Amino acid sequence: MLKVYIVEDEPLARDELRFLLTKYAFVEIVGESENMKAAREDIAALQPDLVFLDIELADGNSLTLAKDLQTILPAHAAIVFATAYDEYALKAFDLNAADYILKPIAEARLEKTLNKVKAILDRQKSNRFHPPRQEAGHKLVVSVEERIVLLEPEKILYIESNGGKCMIVTSDQRFEVKESLINMEKKLIDFTFMRVHRSFLVNMQHICEIHPWFNATYNLVMKDDSRVPVSRSFVKDLKQLFEF
């Protein structure tokens, strides 16, 4: 399922895009908003796979929002600009936009975009569930205080985000780094790591047990007996991976 969020300040345009998207069985619209402030808060909480952004919004230009979303969205997520203006296309693709659609949106054009994003997402999920083997000795390079530390990714249990920083936890050490969890996820995308919460990235090789928790969520028991929460947004991926 492709989780989609819409940012559009024109009610008719928002209704039209929503109507077109509901025609696709693999699309789930998880939210929508008409301004950047509400969109930023919702997207951080909902973690959609795809965000449709109108550019000229009532409270500003969404190119600024797109920059913010790069530190909020999961590594696999895509941004598509849907706008009546063609002059922003180069700036949009500089921000790694997956596509740029001009309004009014033609159904055939939208279908092409959805299939493109879905193919990218399926490929990235396949890599995440069956990561390619890395050469022995590959290191994760991080800055810790005034040191450069080289870590072996396979020895990391999990990474926790807190206040714009990350705590990297191994079986015997903890390293606080001034990087976002999104950046850590991108650096480790070719290894056996999985996002299970907006604040946690876990190494699947170090999960020992999965415990049901309240409100259809779970706790993961790691090899060091620590607990990592799985939020509802990521439960489906967890069940698909471990087939339960």
Per-position pLDDT tens, the chain of length 244: 899 999 999 999 999 999 999 999 999 999 999 999 999 999 988 999 999 999 999 888 999 899 888 778 877 788 999 998 888 888 887 777 888 999 999 999 999 999 888 887 776 666 555 555 555 457 899 999 888 999 999 999 999 998 778 999 998 899 999 888 888 888 888 788 888 998 899 999 899 999 999 888 899 999 999 999 998 878 888 887 787 8
Residue-level pLDDT at 169: 96
Cβ neighbourhood burial of 8 (10 Å; 0-12, 13-18, 19+): buried
Same domain, 171 and 220: yes
| Structural domain containing residue 94 | 2-129
Residue-level pLDDT at 126: 61
Global pTM exceeds 0.75: no
Which of 62, 3, 9, 59 minimizes the C-alpha distance to 31? 3
Residue-level pLDDT at 129: 54
Same domain, 102 and 152: no
Q: Is the preceding omega at residue 104 within 30 degrees of 0, hence cis?
A: yes
Q: Which amino acid is at 232?
A: R
Q: What is the CATH number of the domain that holds 151?
A: 2.40.50.1020
- Look at residue 50 and tell me if it is in a domain: yes
CB 238 within 8 A of CB 230: yes
60: left (phi over 0), alpha (psi -120 to 50) or beta: left
Residue-level pLDDT at 190: 78
Same domain, 21 and 118: yes
Which two three-digit tokens encode residue 196? 């299970």
Same domain, 69 and 33: yes
Q: How many CB atoms are closer than 10 A to CB 153?
A: 18
Same domain, 200 and 230: yes
Which of 129, 148, 169 terminates a domain? The answer is 129
Which two three-digit tokens encode residue 131? 């990561």
Residue 49 DSSP symbol: S
Residue-level pLDDT at 98: 85
Tell me the residue length of the chain: 244
Residue-level pLDDT at 89: 86
Indicate the number of domains in the chain.
2
In sequence order, the 6+-apart residues with CB closer than 8 A to the CB of 51 are: 4, 5, 6, 7, 39, 43, 69, 73, 77, 78, 79, 80
Q: Which helix (H) or strand (E) holds 242?
A: helix 232-242
Residue-level pLDDT at 13: 94
- Look at residue 135 and tell me if it is in a domain: no
